[in-house]
Structure 1
């Protein structure tokens, strides 16, 4: 079996992957923070849906496939099953959404942060391993159990810390720090999970189906553009009076339900 390369193009793909994870996490955490102080439940829900799309779609899914552009196996093509790849996207967005709604709706407390962080962290892991299950290579893929567990732990811990930041710290600097931590969670989980992969030689030529990773470039670019312009709109917008009242109420310990 050929040699596995995780950095075919050097540091270009991991650097871009982290940047995309940071961008998606940044918008998602900005939306989550604004949802926390919104007094209108419909607006709050809308912000949390956008946050789930940003973190799950761009911060996790796009990051994964940007990193996978740098993955190759000498002597074998690397192709992807489209339905499973789409499923990995849906799971990332939906599970992140569940975690954010746990934290973003109602009054904040430690149990909500821990629960939301657990769900958000598991969504990173679920997206990664379903995305890897969609991969077709001329060989058999296995995993080191200890490294798999380590990758999941990295994702859960860092995602929990990032969500905690959105509740206790206010300001652009804190949001940037939280997005940086979330980016570490996603990228750290991804490359630890890739290190856990074990590739066994096949007994003969395997007919590969699916599409190459380049097939996903168009939706990746679209997701990034949507997130970028949405973030610009949100960060440049002046907080509404409703949001200022919500923040003041939260500071006094009476966060709006």
Structure 2
């Protein structure tokens, strides 16, 4: 017997909230990666790690906020805590691989496609691992074509995000890029969810274990959300990231302490006059 799937149990609340979290994680991640690139004196591994964790938490939070709105009308849904936590670890690690690749090797023809493919497939793995954490009195199946489409969207979204991370420097353009990232990640999620079909078991009350969505997901979401808020405080307290000092607009080889050439010439003339 086919189960009746409703992916929007709470209407537009969960899709909008999940999109906002994906955008927040993307925006913070992009700004942290930019911070590692515009200042050679910054602690690059730390900023890249913070950026990767922000993006990974944003993607994972987006997924499970959206899953709060997912239900099968004929059966309850529970979640395995270990697999749910593992999906968060996978999200952060695979995003980290991509971020460190482009952070140190740039968005060249060799590194960007590799980083995008690894990160995209990792994000998809996070999604399907999170789906595997579901416990319900039914078997969950997937349409092969739609799954393949979701993988392609994930790879394209990851590649575009990593390219933006090393190519987009301005504050406003980073925000715009994060909005596009949110659309791409949400599009991948709901495309993957369109592949789902549920075959109910014959018995009405099969023995399955796990935690309910509200008892597991809501408390578990608190950690990544708090992390994103703290990362936001770090980013917003850094004037180089928020206000900017034109660092990424300066010609190569000119440092922040070098004054503009006309002033340098007038100051030099003044010194010669005095001496």
Fold shared, TM-score > 0.5 on shorter chain: yes
Once the 2 structures are TM-superposed, how far is the Cα of residue 107 of structure 1 from its aligned partner?
4.4
Tell me the residue number matched to 2:48.
48
Q: Name the CA distance, whole Å, in 1 between partners of 2:195 and 2:55.
A: 24
In the alignment, does 2:114 pair up with 1:123? Answer: no
SS of 2:202's partner is: coil
Once the 2 structures are TM-superposed, how far is the Cα of residue 16 of structure 1 from its aligned partner?
0.3
Tell me the residue number matched to 2:228.
227
Alignment of 1:8-23 (within 5 A): 8-23=9-24
Q: Name the CA distance, whole Å, in 2 between partners of 1:247 and 1:217.
A: 40
> Contact conserved, 1:39 with 1:246, CA < 8 A, in 2?
no
Once the 2 structures are TM-superposed, how far is the Cα of residue 175 of structure 1 from its aligned partner?
0.6
RMSD: 2.3
Alignment of 1:127-138 (within 5 A): 127-138=126-137
> Contact conserved, 2:146 with 2:192, CA < 8 A, in 1?
yes
Alignment of 1:138-153 (within 5 A): 138-153=137-152
> Contact conserved, 2:3 with 2:199, CA < 8 A, in 1?
no
Alignment of 1:238-253 (within 5 A): 238-239=239-240, 247=248, 252=252
> Contact conserved, 2:54 with 2:231, CA < 8 A, in 1?
no
Unaligned ranges ≥5, structure 2: 254-275
Once the 2 structures are TM-superposed, how far is the Cα of residue 95 of structure 1 from its aligned partner?
0.5
Once the 2 structures are TM-superposed, how far is the Cα of residue 171 of structure 1 from its aligned partner?
0.7
Tell me the residue number matched to 2:186.
187
Tell me the residue number matched to 2:272.
none
> Contact conserved, 1:48 with 1:104, CA < 8 A, in 2?
yes
Once the 2 structures are TM-superposed, how far is the Cα of residue 236 of structure 1 from its aligned partner?
3.8
Q: Name the CA distance, whole Å, in 1 between partners of 2:247 and 2:173.
A: 19
Q: Name the CA distance, whole Å, in 2 between partners of 1:108 and 1:201.
A: 47
> Contact conserved, 1:163 with 1:178, CA < 8 A, in 2?
no
SS of 1:105's partner is: helix
> Contact conserved, 2:105 with 2:111, CA < 8 A, in 1?
no
Alignment of 1:10-159 (within 5 A): 10-40=11-41, 43-57=43-57, 59-159=58-158
Tell me the residue number matched to 2:269.
none
Once the 2 structures are TM-superposed, how far is the Cα of residue 108 of structure 1 from its aligned partner?
4.1
TM-score (norm 2): 0.83
SS of 1:200's partner is: strand
Once the 2 structures are TM-superposed, how far is the Cα of residue 234 of structure 1 from its aligned partner?
1.3
Once the 2 structures are TM-superposed, how far is the Cα of residue 119 of structure 1 from its aligned partner?
1.9
